[in-house]
Amino acid sequence: MEIKETNYTIRLVDPDRDYALFKEWWPAHGHAGVDRAILPQLGVMVQLGEEPMGALWLYMDNSVGVCFAEHPVTRPGLSLGQAREVFRLAIDYLKLAAKEMDYGFMVVRTPPAIARILEGMGFIRDQENMVSMLGMTGDSHGR
C-alpha cells in the first residue's frame, strides 16, 4: 500500500531494499541501530519523490489495543522542518493503520526533540526521566 501526500510518498518498509539505508542513518544520529530481526513487520518509509527521507515502525500488543511507534530515523542532513514533516506523515499513517486494526492507543518512546513535535500532534507526556533498556530473554539475571 502506498499513500501520496503533496510531494511525499508513504510506503511500507521493504527490509531487503531499505535496511542498508537505516544502518547508515542510525549512527549519524548517535543511535547504535536496530537489528533487522527485531523490527516489526509494519514499518513505513516516507519519500520525497523517489528519495527516502525517513522511517518509523509500529509494534502491536497482542492482548490489548495498545501499539508502540519505535525507532524513528531520518536521512542525515534533513532540515528540522523536513524531519518534522517526515515524522508527522509517518505517525499519521501508522495511527490510521492502527485504528483500522482496533488499536486505540499509541505509545511513543522518543528523544526530547521528537517529543515536542508529538505534543504538537496531540500526544501527552507519560513519564519523565526514563531510560530505554534492551535485553535478551535467554539471560537469567546474568547467571
- Distance between terminal CA atoms of the chain? 46
pTM for the whole structure: 0.83
Position 102 confidence tier, pLDDT thresholds 50, 70, 90: very high
Average pLDDT over every residue of 29-57: 93
3-state secondary structure of 5: strand
d(C-alpha 111, C-alpha 101), whole Å:
27
Select the more confidently predicted residue: 140 or 84.
84
Above pLDDT 90, what percent of the chain?
60
Residue 58, pLDDT > 60, answer yes
Give the angle subtended at the CA of 76 by the CAs of 68 and 131, to the nearest 5°.
Answer: 40
